[in-house]
Amino acid sequence: MDEPEEAPPVLVPMFSQKVVLRHLTDEQRLALKRIRTINGWKSWTKMLYWVVENQSLMRPVHDPPRGGRYLVCRQVPLEIKQELERLRMDHGWEMWSDLVVIVIEELGD
């Protein structure tokens, strides 16, 4: 008896976008790199997952520091981006980098 052949896996396209965290200071960028290493995140997008999973910690950010550095979070699933958009509107964040202040406060040294 011949065993039935397994069907080849079906690749489902993942619709994704990127989020650019602009105007970071050098200190913020270094703090984020430490946080990424400590948490074992392989990409900056994992930080955005953390933000969505910890929505209760999110809040408005007043007068965040601004610098000339940036980070790019690539391949952000649309569902995560939509949730981040909602958080951004709810908390009045002017820029994506405003969420960095909260991440550093919650996960930093």
- Residue 48 to residues 2, 64, 84: CA-CA distances in angstroms? 48, 18, 8
Residues 104 and 32 sit within 8 Å (Cβ to Cβ): yes
Q: What is the pLDDT of residue 57?
A: 95
Q: Please check the confidence at residue 80 and state whether its pLDDT lies above 80.
A: yes
Burial class (CB in 10 A: 0-12, 13-18, 19+), 48: buried
Q: What is the pLDDT of residue 11?
A: 63
In a domain, 22, yes or no: yes
In a domain, 65, yes or no: yes
Q: Which domain holds residue 100?
A: 16-107
pLDDT digits (tens, 9 = 90+) for 89-104: 999 999 999 999 999 9
In a domain, 8, yes or no: no
pLDDT digits (tens, 9 = 90+) for 2-57: 677 787 777 665 678 899 999 999 999 999 999 999 999 999 999 999 999 999 99
In a domain, 75, yes or no: yes
- Residue 91 to residues 16, 42, 46: CA-CA distances in angstroms? 23, 27, 21
In a domain, 63, yes or no: yes
- Count how many domains the chain has: 1
Q: What is the pLDDT of residue 16?
A: 85
Residues 16 and 79 sit within 8 Å (Cβ to Cβ): no
Dist CA 43 CA 22 (whole Å): 17
Higher-confidence residue of 65 and 2: namely 65
